[in-house]
Amino acid sequence: MVLEEKKDPMGQAIRDYFEQGRAGTLRVCSSLFDDDEMPVPMLFRTESDMNALERTALRHCRGRVLDVGAGAGCHALVLQDRGLPVTAIDVSPLSVDTMRRRGVNDARACDFFDDDCGGPFDTVLLLMNGMGVCGRLDRLPLFFHRIDRVLADGGQVLADSSDLRYVFEDEDGNFTPEPDGRYYGEVDFRMVYGKVKGPRFDWLYIDFATLARSAARAGFRAELLCEGNHYDYLARITRA
Ligand code: SAH
């Protein structure tokens, strides 16, 4: 579902930063972590600010690209500069408007799960814990169903995520997740920017083995392309 302007803290922060070169504090509240701040300039990072995992992902992009949850459009702009046709989607119309003003040629306000995103695409890109858009583990079958709809023959998904196991490990490496039976990487968040409070939303952090099993069940194959330096990784998913 596309966000309303008055309930879209990140979109407001992105617009402010684009228009004024600075933004207020974008707060991130969650059930699992202490309240934190998302640095808004980070959403405007250029290729040289990007980490190895993101650069690897950009290097592997080919053909027509769908950037899912594109934010301020940092990856879309790099790929466009390289001559790749990019469609950038986001549930935040404010972010989409900013992407257009920054020069993203095809930016659309849509929800990957509900709306027609165009296509078919040779590459579907999901970055910055991009698998998070799935929200919960039980939404993975729907995710793969949607991927199957938009992916061209021979196409690939490039997505990053993190294994949150470290959050639940003690010094001796004993793993004790919350005893509520939920997958330990399901986190709920809420963003706040000044007086603008966003809705709470689910964000999924998935370890690679679980992702690979879910992909296989849906007729896909997940491959580990690169590991980051804090339990994060980049995966490539293709049809099996
Ligand atoms: N990829 C960008 C932004 C990451 S923040 C970057 O690396 O800088 C995650 C983005 O995903 C947010 O802008 C949010 O609005 C968007 N988003 C969340 N769920 C989505 C969905 N179902 N469909 C499309 N965009 C989504």
Please provide the average confidence, as pLDDT, over all residues in the chain. 96
The answer to whether the beta carbons of residues 137 and 186 sit under 8 Å apart is yes
Tallying the residues shown for the chain, one arrives at 240
* Residues contacting 174, CB < 8 A, separation 6+: none
Q: What phi, psi does 78 have (nearest 5°)?
A: -60, -45
Asked if the model's pLDDT at residue 179 lies above 80, the reply is: no
- Which residues have C-beta atoms less than 6 Å from ligand 1? 10, 43, 68-71, 74, 89-92, 95, 111-113, 127-128, 133
CA-based Rg of the chain, rounded to a whole angstrom?
A: 17
Asked if the model's pLDDT at residue 176 lies above 90, the reply is: no
Nearest of 71, 191, 182 to residue 136 by alpha carbon: 182
pLDDT grade for 194, boundaries at 50, 70 and 90: very high
Asked if the model's pLDDT at residue 120 lies above 90, the reply is: yes
The model's pLDDT over 53-109, given as tens digits with 9 standing for 90+, comes to: 999 999 999 999 999 999 999 999 999 999 999 999 999 999 999 999 999 999 999
Q: Which two tokens stand for residue 134?
A: 């799935």
Task: Return d(Cα 204, Cα 140) in angstroms, integer.
Answer: 10
Mutation choice for ligand 1 from 74, 90, 234, CB with most ligand atoms inside 8 A = 90
pLDDT > 90 in the chain, percent? 93
The answer to whether the beta carbons of residues 112 and 89 sit under 8 Å apart is yes
pTM of the model: 0.98
Ranking 126-135, 156-165, 167-176, 218-227 by mean pLDDT, the lowest is 167-176
Q: Which two tokens stand for residue 108?
A: 């659309």
Nearest CA to ligand 1 atom 17: 69
Q: Which residue has the tokens 């040629």?
A: 105
Asked if the model's pLDDT at residue 183 lies above 80, the reply is: yes
Q: Which residue has the tokens 């995992």?
A: 53
Number of H helices, E strands in the chain: 6, 12
| Ligand 1 atom nearest to 10, measured from its CA | 13
- Distance in Å, CA 173 to ligand 1 centroid: 33
| Ligand 1 atom nearest to 126, measured from its CA | 1
- Distance in Å, CA 181 to ligand 1 centroid: 27
Nearest CA to ligand 1 atom 16: 69
Nearest CA to ligand 1 atom 11: 69
Q: Which two tokens stand for residue 149?
A: 């709809």
- Distance in Å, CA 133 to ligand 1 centroid: 7
The model's pLDDT over 2-38, given as tens digits with 9 standing for 90+, comes to: 999 999 999 999 999 999 999 999 999 998 889 999 9
- Distance in Å, CA 174 to ligand 1 centroid: 33
Q: What is the pLDDT of residue 32?
A: 87
- Taking residues 213-235, what's their average pLDDT? 97
The total of other beta-carbon atoms located within 10 Å of residue 216's CB is 12
- Distance in Å, CA 68 to ligand 1 centroid: 6
Instruction: Please give the residue that has the higher pLDDT: either 177 or 137.
Output: 137
Report the greatest alpha carbon distance in the chain.
Answer: 51
